[in-house]
């Protein structure tokens, strides 16, 4: 299967790339290697095709999609810092919302079957109860959490309007090898 991993040089994305390659899939990576985003050349798997492209650069992303023609997209690229989102909510929205829309538009254009999306537990804000499950109401308390909630709505819309299947993973406090200290 042809899989495109956005943010594939980052902490979580690079592990996804490694697992997909180990499972025998053809993998391509899109990552801008932005210092604050966590993408690092050292995390790149040499068996994957790498494109240093920003997901907000629509024309460049279109070219990558045209070349790869992915069957599945694992969308891990994001502005993931809550602190950055409160200082610069426009940047947060540009990367997280408009970047996703660029990915979704390409998925529809080329008939991609599925997108797996990195959402966040930040969509819950301070949860009404613990442990959190999918029935807990979402009340984001930061621009970052808001963008992640909004993008889940876009995914739902895209599935209903265009038939693109999706899975949204609401990551919590993830840690492990390759994380930024």
Q: How distant is the alpha carbon of residue 54 from its chain centre?
A: 12
Kindly state whether residue 179 falls inside one of the protein's structural domains.
Answer: no
Query: Beta-carbon neighbour count of residue 51 at 10 Å?
Result: 19
In a domain, 14, yes or no: yes
If phi > 0 it is left, if psi is from -120 to 50 it is alpha, else beta; for residue 80 that is alpha
What is the spatial distance between Cα 104 and Cα 114, in angstroms, rounded to a whole number? 10
Over the stretch 65-118, which tens digit does the pLDDT of each residue have? 999 999 999 999 999 999 999 999 999 999 999 999 999 999 999 999 999 999
From the list 144, 153, 154, 175, the catalytic residue is 144
The reported pLDDT for the residue numbered 150 is: 98
Range of the domain at 56: 2-171
The tokens for 131 are: 């442990």
Query: How far, CA to CA in Å, does 165 sit from each of 18, 71, 96?
Result: 23, 11, 19
CB 20 within 8 A of CB 71: no
- pLDDT score recorded for residue 38: 77
> Is 177 contained in some domain?
no
Residues 6 or more apart whose Cβ sits within 8 Å of residue 172: 121
Position 62 in a domain: yes
CATH code of residue 36: 3.40.50.720
Say what percent of the chain tops pLDDT 70. 98
The DSSP output letter for 42 is G
Query: Is 144 known to be catalytic?
Result: yes
> pLDDT: is 133 or 35 the higher one?
133
Question: What is the band of 163 on the pLDDT scale with cuts at 50, 70, 90?
Answer: very high
pLDDT in tens, 11-59: 999 999 999 999 999 999 999 998 666 799 999 999 999 999 999 999 9
Q: How many domains does the chain have?
A: 1
134 within some domain: yes
Using a pLDDT cut of 90, give the percent of the chain over it: 88
Instruction: State how far the alpha carbon of 116 is from the alpha carbons of 75, 125, 169, in Å.
Output: 6, 22, 8
The model's pTM is 0.95
Is residue 6 situated within a structural domain?
Answer: yes
Would you say 68 and 48 are in contact if contact means Cβ atoms under 8 Å apart? no
- For residues 57 and 103, the answer to whether their CB atoms sit within 8 Å is no
Kindly indicate the confidence band of residue 1, based on its pLDDT and cuts at 50, 70 and 90: very high
181 in a structural domain: no
Cα distance between residue 53 and residue 61, in whole Å:
7
């Amino acid at each position: 299967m042809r899989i495109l991993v956005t943010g594939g040089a980052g902490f979580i994305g690079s592990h996804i790339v490694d697992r997909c390659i180990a499972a025998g899939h053809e993998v391509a990576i899109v990552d801008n290697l932005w210092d604050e985003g966590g993408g690092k050349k050292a995390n790149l798997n040499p068996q994957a095709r790498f494109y240093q492209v920003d997901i907000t650069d629509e024309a460049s992303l279109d070219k990558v999609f045209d070349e790869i023609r992915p069957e599945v997209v694992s969308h891990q690229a994001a502005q993931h810092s809550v602190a950055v989102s409160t200082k610069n909510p426009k940047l947060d929205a540009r990367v997280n919302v408009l970047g996703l829309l660029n990915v979704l538009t390409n998925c529809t254009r080329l008939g991609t079957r599925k997108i797996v999306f990195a959402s966040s537990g930040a969509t819950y804000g301070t949860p009404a109860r613990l442990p959190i499950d999918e029935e807990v109401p979402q009340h984001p308390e930061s621009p970052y959490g808001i963008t992640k909630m909004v993008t889940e709505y876009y995914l739902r819309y895209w599935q209903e309007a265009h038939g693109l299947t999706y899975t949204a993973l609401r990551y919590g406090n993830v840690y492990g090898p390759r994380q930024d200290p």
